[in-house]
Amino acid sequence: MNTQIHHRFWQLEQQLLRALTGKRDVVRALLNCLLAGGHLLIEDVPGVGKTTLAQALAASLHSDFGRIQFTADLLPADIVGVEIYDPAKQSFSFHPGPIFHHIVLADEINRATPKAQSALLEAMAEGQISIERETHALPQPFLVLATQNPQEHLGTFPLPESQLDRFFMRIAIGYPDRDAERRILLGEAGRAQLSSFEAITSWDEVEQARSEVMAVAVSDAVMDYLLDLLALTRNGEWLDQGASPRAGRDVLRAAQANAWLNAQAYVTAADIQQVWLPTLAHRVISQGDTAVALQRIVEQRPVPA
**One-character DSSP codes across the chain:** --HHHHHHHHHHHHHHHHHSTT-HHHHHHHHHHHHHT-EEEEE--TTSSHHHHHHHHHHHTT--EEEEE--TT--HHHHHEEEEEETTTTEEEEEE-TT-SSEEEEETGGGS-HHHHGGGHHHHHHSEEEETTEEEEPPSS-EEEEEE--TTSTT--PPPHHHHTTEEEEE------HHHHHHHHTTSSGGGGGGG------HHHHHHHHHHHHTSB--HHHHHHHHHHHHHHTSSSS-SB---HHHHHHHHHHHHHHHHHTT-SB--HHHHHHHHHHHHTTT-B-SS-HHHHHHHHHHHSPPP-
Are domains 3-200 and 216-300 of this chain identical in fold?
no
Cβ atoms within 10 Å, residue 287: 8
Q: Is pLDDT of 192 > 90? A: no
Span 95-114, average pLDDT: 88
Helix axes 220-233, 245-261, angle to 10 degrees: 140
Q: Is pLDDT of 212 > 70? A: yes
Q: Is pLDDT of 276 > 80? A: yes
pLDDT at 152: 61
Taking the domains of the chain in order of start, what are their residue ranges? 3-200, 216-300
- Predicted TM-score of the model (pTM): 0.88
pLDDT tens sequence across 113-142: 888 888 888 888 888 888 877 888 998 888
pLDDT at 11: 93
pLDDT tens sequence across 24-66: 999 999 999 999 999 999 988 777 788 888 888 988 987 788 8
Q: Which CATH number fits domain 216-300: 3.40.50.720, 3.40.50.1380, 3.40.50.300, 1.10.8.80?
A: 1.10.8.80
Lowest mean pLDDT among 75-79, 246-250, 293-297: 75-79
Lowest mean pLDDT among 65-74, 155-164, 165-174, 253-262: 155-164
Which residues, in sequence order, are bridge partners of residue 167? 39
Superfamily for 3-200?
A: P-loop containing nucleotide triphosphate hydrolases (3.40.50.300)
Q: Is pLDDT of 270 > 90? A: yes
Q: List b or e across 95-106, with b for residues whose CB sees 16 or more CB atoms inside 10 angstroms.
A: eebbbbbbbbbb
Span 229-249, average pLDDT: 92
pLDDT tens sequence across 6-26: 999 999 999 999 888 888 999
